[in-house]
């Protein structure tokens, strides 16, 4: 970790977004994670994404559990709302907060321990219910805070720093999310911000449960020969299926790529996802196909990254439950305590 605070000096030409903020205005405290941690790059990618989307910090709520990954919300969006919950219980707290106030943008930041082990059930049910959120798993395949034991996402056959081989089968968070009905699923790598930043932007703009599995090497305990989550291994085996570009609002779309290689997806909120296809036969709107493709490539030892599945017309739990639009704390007593005649009406309808 670093003991000095980051100097307030900034580049004289640092640009402002539409809200008048520079990228530096979205920063948080100086990270206390190990030097070179992939999580810090993800924090930087989140800062960049929120800056580029011209969002005001107070419109975002960062939720996390326990672990290295769950410490990171302290290191970005210092002026946003946040809640650091019990280990693995972030999805429930997020769901509750979202039900109470749907005006905010919910960002769940979790790790492979927090979401694939202790919080697996919580993760599964929040995705299943279609909670409108961005769920980012900072996946390093290791318990970094407790000195490097295998986590539930460690690949079978990978070696720990001390040479021990992992015999347990890994949990594939992306496969789980697809199976559980997430409507925006992506996988990326902390060392590739060109891919990660647009992916986060797309997830924020998405209406419904958006899930991003982000491989994030643990420099202290999982960046050695024999690890399948090291910088070198992920770079060598990274197979990007597409490259994303997010355009918010109704900005005119210019095609600068070959028309055939470009897929344009319009999302619920009017934002546009421009997908430059790298694998031309990959169709990100085909959930079953995506699951089959991922299984096949995983067996071949590849790490498939990119926007893997998106349902642009997805609904969220508010749509299913038909909840009130206003935040609950703004409801006055008239709305909260209906008159006796309203009760009579309900009773009459049940007779």
Partner 1 sequence: MVFEKVAAVYSADGRRSLKPTGEPDEHYECDDVLVAVGQENAFPWIERDIGLDFDQWDMPKVDPVTFQSSNPKVFFGGDAAFGPKNIIWAVAHGHDAAISIDKFVHGQSVEDRPPPMVTLVSQKMGIHEWAYDNDLSNDVRYKVPLVDKDVALKDVRTEVELGFDRKLGYAEAQRCLNCDVQTVFSAPLCIECDACVDICPMDCITFTENGEEEALRARLNAPAHNTTQDLYVSETLKTGRIMAKDEDVCLHCGLCAERCPTGAWDMQRFTLDITHADHRCQQR
Q: Which two tokens stand for residue 32?
A: 């206390």
Q: Does 2 bind partner 1 (CB under 8 A)?
A: yes
Q: Which two tokens stand for residue 147?
A: 């000195």
Q: Per-residue x/- marks for partner 1, 229-248, CB under 8 A?
A: --xx--x-------------
Question: Which part of the chain contacts partner 1 (CB under 8 A), choosing from 11-19, 62-70, 85-93, 201-209?
Answer: 11-19
Closer to partner 1 at the Cβ: 62 or 129? 62
Closer to partner 1 at the Cβ: 33 or 60? 33
Q: Within the chain, what is the greatest distance between any pair of CA atoms?
A: 72
Q: What is the DSSP string of 135-202?
A: EEEEE-SEEGGGT-EE-TTPPTT-B-TTSPBP-SPPP-HHHHHHHHT-SEEEEEETT-HHHHHHHHHH
- Partnered with residue 165 across adjacent β-strands are 159
What does the radius of gyration of the chain's CA atoms come to, in whole angstroms? Answer: 21
Q: Does 11 bind partner 1 (CB under 8 A)?
A: yes
Look up tokens 């990660």; give the residue: 196
Rounded to a whole number of angstroms, the minimum distance from the CB of residue 41 to partner 1 is 5
Using CB under 8 A as the binding rule, the residues of this chain from 321 to 340 that contact partner 1 are none
Determine the size of the site formed for partner 1 (CB under 8 A).
35
Rounded to an integer, what distance in angstroms lies between the CA atom of residue 22 and that of residue 276? 28
Q: Does 69 bind partner 1 (CB under 8 A)?
A: no
Using DSSP bridges, classify how beta strands 142-143 and 149-150 pair: parallel, antiparallel or unpaired.
antiparallel
Q: Which two tokens stand for residue 323?
A: 């909840």
Rounded to a whole number of angstroms, the minimum distance from the CB of residue 132 to partner 1 is 29
Using CB under 8 A as the binding rule, the residues of this chain from 16 to 35 that contact partner 1 are 24, 31, 34-35
Question: Which part of the chain contacts partner 1 (CB under 8 A), choosing from 12-20, 162-170, 261-269, 315-323?
Answer: 12-20
Do residues 208 and 315 touch, judged by C-beta distance below 8 A? yes
- Closest to 271 measured CA to CA, from 246, 293, 308: 246
Q: Does 217 bind partner 1 (CB under 8 A)?
A: yes
Using CB under 8 A as the binding rule, the residues of this chain from 178 to 207 that contact partner 1 are 190-191, 193
Rounded to a whole number of angstroms, the minimum distance from the CB of residue 65 to partner 1 is 23
List residues binding partner 1 (CB under 8 A).
Answer: 1-14, 24, 31, 34-38, 40-41, 43-44, 190-191, 193, 217, 219-220, 223, 231-232, 235
């Amino acid at each position: 970790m670093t003991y000095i605070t980051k100097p307030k000096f900034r580049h004289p030409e640092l640009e402002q977004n539409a809200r008048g903020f520079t990228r530096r205005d979205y920063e948080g405290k100086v990270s206390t994670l190990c030097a070179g941690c992939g999580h810090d790059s993800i924090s930087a990618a989140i800062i960049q994404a929120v800056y580029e989307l011209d969002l005001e910090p107070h419109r975002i709520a960062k939720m996390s559990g326990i672990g290295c990954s769950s410490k990171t919300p302290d290191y970005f969006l210092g002026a946003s709302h946040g809640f650091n919950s019990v280990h693995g219980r972030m999805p429930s707290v997020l769901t509750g907060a979202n039900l109470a106030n749907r005006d905010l943008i919910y960002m769940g930041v979790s790790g492979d321990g927090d979401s694939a082990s202790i919080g697996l059930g919580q993760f599964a049910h929040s995705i299943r219910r279609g909670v409108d959120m961005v769920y980012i798993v900072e996946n390093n395949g290791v318990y970094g805070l407790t000195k490097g034991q295998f986590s539930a996402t460690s690949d079978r056959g990978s070696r720990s720093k001390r040479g021990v081989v992992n015999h347990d089968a890994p949990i594939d968070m992306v496969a789980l999310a697809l199976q559980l009905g997430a409507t925006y699923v992506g996988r990326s790598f902390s060392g590739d911000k060109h891919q990660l930043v647009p992916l986060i932007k797309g997830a924020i703009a998405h209406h419904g449960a958006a899930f991003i599995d982000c491989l994030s090497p643990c420099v202290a305990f999982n960046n050695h020969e024999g690890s399948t989550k090291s910088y070198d291994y992920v770079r060598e085996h990274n197979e990007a299926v597409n490259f994303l570009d997010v355009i918010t609002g109704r900005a005119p779309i210019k095609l600068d790529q070959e028309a055939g290689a470009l897929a344009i997806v319009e999302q619920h909120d009017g934002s546009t996802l421009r997908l430059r296809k790298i694998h031309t036969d990959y169709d990100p709107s085909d959930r079953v196909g995506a699951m089959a493709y991922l299984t096949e490539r995983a067996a071949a030892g590849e790490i498939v990254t990119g926007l893997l599945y998106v349902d642009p017309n997805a609904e969220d739990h508010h749509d299913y439950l038909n909840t009130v639009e206003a935040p609950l704390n703004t409801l006055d007593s008239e709305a909260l305590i209906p008159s006796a005649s309203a009760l009579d009406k309900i009773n009459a309808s049940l007779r």
